[in-house]
Amino acid sequence: MTGGMLDPAHAKARRRDRRVYLGAHPLLFALLAATRGRGVRRLGGTMLVHDADAYREALTRLPLDRTAAGTTGGAARAALGGDGDVLFDQEGTGHRADRRSLAGRLGSAGVEELRSLWRPLPVRWSAPPAGGGEVDVVELAREVAGRVAGALLGSDADPPALARAAARAAATSVRSHLPGPPRPGAAAAAARAAAGLRELAGAGDALSSMVAVAAVNTTVAAVPRAVAWCADAGLWEQAADAELRPRLVAELLRVTAASPVLPRVAAAAGSVGGCPVRGGDRLVLVARHAAGAHRRDPDAGDPAGPEVARLVFGAGPHACPGARLASVLLGDVLEELAPYRPVVTRARVDRRAALPGWRSLMVRAGV
């Protein structure tokens, strides 16, 4: 398997992974697939941005309205009950100061410290692996993400319960921010979920809550999808190899693009990929296509390279501060599972989550 172009060995992995989009957002997925032939395309007041350079340009050069409804900033603010700034929605000096404080917790020393929360990994086989035992990788991701969220919030709430509350807060807030006719009850459901998270966590300011929500939702989406791909495409040899593993991790995060679409709003006129943009235009920045997830299979022997792979974490001053944490955690999960050469036995799509992902992903030892 070389070259990175679509390879038959990956067809099964790709087919299964597509289910997470088709299960929850079939129309959006079809629209984005149908329009990706052109790097940037205008549909009324909305710009669809697929091209890597245009995507980078939109995130680094174009002034963005970070509090507009229907954007990640607007949804994050709503998810936390609107009390205080939540990073996604910030600009300038305040944003830089909060990013600096986060860099300590999520930089290399901080991640090394957080790592003790999940080592040894709480992998719970339903019976001995050799006797046909199974593991639910979603449950594993939820347990670990809940522990990380608890540490970031200074809360000792039950980790899986915290993770579920963070998932509910994100899902209800995204639903209440979807474009289209107003959904009766959606805002109230989002407010209830936000209050539920705050009550359960019992601690933490708006910033910590936002980081915890981001950590949980991305981890619970990304880790099981990456494990399923690794299993379906037979990549456990690469996962077992300490030298190849970091590249495999970057490649799996690239092709699964856990946050596949970044909804943004232009704050002022400008241009993206040579196309004029007006203030107030909606931008649908397709991280999945910018990173080439749809056309280049993951290959640790011939990776796409950091410039492209990193695009799944955004770009510019708001680029994801949790990228290192996500990569280290996925590497640890792959290392732990690799000796068993797991195969997927059952996978159910989560139709309600904020990010496309599995509701359960059962694997059993393949050796």
Name the residues that contact ligand HEM, by CB under 6 A.
59, 87-88, 99, 106, 211, 214-215, 218-219, 222, 253, 258-259, 262, 287, 312-316, 318-322, 325-326
Longest dimension (CA), the chain: 62
Q: How far is the CB of 132 from ligand HEM (least distance, A)?
A: 31
Q: How far is the CB of 346 from ligand HEM (least distance, A)?
A: 23
Of 72 and 172, CB closest to ligand HEM: 72
Measured from the CB of residue 86, what is the shortest distance to ligand HEM in angstroms? Answer: 8
Q: Which residue number, 86 or 231, has a Cβ lying nearer to ligand HEM?
A: 86
Smallest gap, in angstroms, from Cβ of residue 130 to ligand HEM?
32
Q: How many angstroms separate the Cα of 146 from the Cα of each of 118, 139, 141?
A: 10, 10, 8
Q: What residues pair up with 136 in beta bridges, in sequence order?
A: 362
Residue among 218 and 238 whose Cβ is closer to ligand HEM: 218
Q: How far is CA 179 from CA 28, 46, 88, 287, in A?
A: 12, 11, 19, 19
Q: Which is nearer to ligand HEM, 151 or 365 (CB)?
A: 151
Task: Pinpoint the alpha helices (H) of 233-344.
Answer: 236-240, 245-256, 287-290, 306-309, 323-337
Q: Is 112 exposed, middle or buried (0-12, 13-18, 19+ CB in 10 A)?
A: exposed
Give 315 or 365: the residue with its C-beta nearer to ligand HEM: 315
For ligand HEM, give the closer residue by CB, 305 or 317: 317
Whichever of 210 and 365 has its CB closer to ligand HEM, that residue is 210
Chain position carrying tokens 């996604």: 88
Instruction: Tell me if residue 74 falls in helix, strand or coil.
Output: helix
Q: 193: exposed, middle or buried (C-beta count within 10 Å: 0-12, 13-18, 19+)?
A: buried
Question: Which residue, 201 or 258, is less far from ligand HEM as judged by CB?
Answer: 258
Say how far apart CA 53 and CA 49 lie, in whole Å.
10
Residues 147 and 332: their CA atoms lie apart, in Å, by 15
In whole angstroms, the minimum distance from the beta carbon of 327 to ligand HEM comes to 8
Q: Is 284 helix (H, G, I), strand (E, B) or coil?
A: strand
Beta carbons within 10 angstroms of residue 345's beta carbon: 13
Q: Return d(Cα 245, Cα 331) in angstroms, integer.
A: 7
Minimal distance in Å, beta carbon 330 to ligand HEM? Answer: 7
d(CA 248, CA 241): 10
Give me the least distance between CB of 51 and ligand HEM, in Å please: 16
Please state the closest distance from residue 316 (CB atom) to ligand HEM, in A: 6
